[in-house]
Structure 1
Amino acid sequence: MINPFDVESQKYSALVNDEGRYSLWPAHMNVPAGWRVAHAADTREACLEYIEWRWVEMQPVSR
């Protein structure tokens, strides 16, 4: 079985939650509860670059 998070050729989105944590997410999958799209469907590389650029503080907001 292929891991949907490792397929280079598909589109991904960058998600963020209320705690300021980011996640790479396959664009064809529903966004899980508590998360929202921060960077719309794009290449895996572009989404990872976006996450790296935006997620500078690894501690959750609530801390």
Structure 2
Amino acid sequence: MNAPALRYLVAVNDEEQHALWPADTPLPAGWWPEGCSGTEDECMAHVDQVWPDIRPLSLRRRLAGKEDS
């Protein structure tokens, strides 16, 4: 008999970084559920779709400011 697949949720922080987290484990401080949950593959596919630029938000903002100058 196969063990049930682990369920994950996609978590996000203030820097808009994404992480997969076991659904039955409390998130650490500074992270909150993004809204997607499922298998590891389902969550990874979602992250690939919604997080194309993996640089932290503060870096993206800083670089965007330099590009505008």
TM range, smaller chain: 0.7 to 0.9
Structure with the greater alpha carbon radius of gyration: 2
Aligned to 2:26: 30
Bigger proportion of residues as helix: 2
Q: Is the 8 A contact 2:36 2:46 kept in 1?
A: no
| Structure 1 unmatched runs, 5+ | 1-7
TM-score scaled by length of structure 1: 0.79
How far has the Cα of 1:45 moved from its partner? 1.1
RMSD: 1.5
| Structure 2 unmatched runs, 5+ | 60-69
Percent of residue pairs bearing the same amino acid type: 32
Divergent runs of 4+, >2 A: none
Q: Is the 8 A contact 2:8 2:22 kept in 1?
A: yes
The AA in structure 1 aligned to 2:21 is W
Aligned to 2:7: 11
* Greater relative CO, 1 or 2 (CA 8 Å, sep 6+): 1
Q: Distance in 2 between matches of 1:40 and 1:54?
A: 11
> SS state of the match for residue 62, structure 1?
helix
The number of equivalent residue pairs is 56
TM-score scaled by length of structure 2: 0.73
